[in-house]
Amino acid sequence: MTAWEPPSPRCAELLVAGVRRLMDRGDIFSAVDEAVLASAAPLAERDPALAEAMRATDRANILHWATSTLRDPGARVAPNVDSETLGLARDLVRRGLDRAGVDVYRAGQNVVWRHWMAVAFELTSDPEELRELLDVSARSIFTFVEETLAGINAQVDLEREQLTSGTHAERLATVNLLLEGAPIPEERASARLGYDLGRRHLAAILWAPPGAADEGELGTLAERLARAAGAPRALTVVVGASSLWMWCAASADPDPADLEAALAGVPAVRVAVGSVGAGVEGFRRAYLDALATQRLMHRARPAPRIARYGDVRAVALAAADEERALEFAARTLGDLAAADEQLRETLRVYLREECNATRAARALFAHRNTVLHRLQRAQALLPAPLAGRSVEVGLALDLARWLGVPQPAVTQRDAA
């Protein structure tokens, strides 16, 4: 190993100042996330749980390097191979990716280096100081990234060996074939999975932040969800360290209260429930609807813990053209789009409860007079009377809830 020479006292001083300035700006995290997720597309786009794990690992790696550099400026930074980082390796393997999937983090490294160079040129204009600072920091950053990736790749190899030696590989491969629409005979697929594909199916996706729940906990929750849906057992496929797909034989959506009860005691786990469908096509559609629900859950603020496709179907369909959906919401809601969230939520629940203020008050845990006052304020902000437009306004409110508050529409009067 090449000798690791310590930096000069002045360079060490500049390293500390640079790290503090880089962290104070805060935009480094979002910039790295954007680059890494763009490199991982389209997988990260269709798998929100994996994208969340990548963001968490981005942040952990940056903070690991920054903290180590502040503690001992210019010293070799140990690779970040903690449980969260190695958990990502497990996720990548279970999604069918090889070592190339890890290389997306080099895109993040490049972003960090560009931001760091900008900081370095702000810290000093002395050519010798700048030369040493860039040389020492380049060695530190690139060595840390290379050694961290080497640790992750070693875990990828281990996970692949374990995966291909067990029954999980066959189950995951069979499910992926079904989801991709491959012409695999129903009887053969049922035998491989130990699950009758000829029935009606309910699908769900369970996930948690990295390290918040293990495979055993997710599997136990999946069985609880199956029982809440009236099924004796669940078919489960582990797709990550903190993510699981499940199907169960069910004829109808489970009651929301039963879902909440099934998840009691494990607050970190979130669940996206799909639709109910029959046969192989129903198996596939149920999962795709659960995935559409999960994507919306990642967008919604506040983030819900449980959501059913039946509750977000209209939003999922409208969001296929998100730009036009948000434009529709902005024009329909007018000034209400930018008003207090409490007003929008009160009107949304009121419309959901078929314009019954008493039931809306009960659902909102508020006094009926309070609800009536909020409704009056909310309707005054709409660009047109609510009468005859309840369906449109209800959809616009749902879009604002799940996709984010739309920007106010620009009217001809505003443009004048």
Residue 351 pLDDT greater than 90, yes or no: yes
Average model confidence (pLDDT) for the chain? 85
Q: How far apart are CA 193 and CA 39, in angstroms?
A: 33
CATH class of 168-299: alpha beta
Question: For residue 377, what is the DSSP state?
Answer: H
What is the average per-residue pLDDT within 211-217? 78
pTM of the model: 0.64
What is the average per-residue pLDDT within 139-146? 91
Measured over the CA atoms of residue 287, residue 293, residue 299 and residue 304, the dihedral's sign is: negative
Residue 307 pLDDT greater than 80, yes or no: yes
CB 363 within 8 A of CB 353: yes
Give me the pLDDT at residue 416, please. 35
* CA separation, residue 158 to residues 53, 86, 103, 154, 276 (Å): 19, 11, 17, 6, 37
346: Cβ–Cβ under 8 A, 6 or more apart, which residues?
360, 364, 366, 371, 374, 375, 378
Range(s) within the chain of domains with CATH label 3.30.70.2730: 168-299
The predicted-structure confidence for 394-416, as pLDDT tens digits, reads as follows 999 999 999 887 776 544 334 33
Comparison of pLDDT for 172 and 12, the residue scoring more: 12
Question: For residue 70, what is the DSSP state?
Answer: H
Range(s) within the chain of domains with CATH label 1.10.490: 9-164
The predicted-structure confidence for 163-187, as pLDDT tens digits, reads as follows 555 566 678 888 988 998 888 889 8
138: Cβ–Cβ under 8 A, 6 or more apart, which residues?
113
Domain 9-164, second-level architecture: Orthogonal Bundle (1.10)
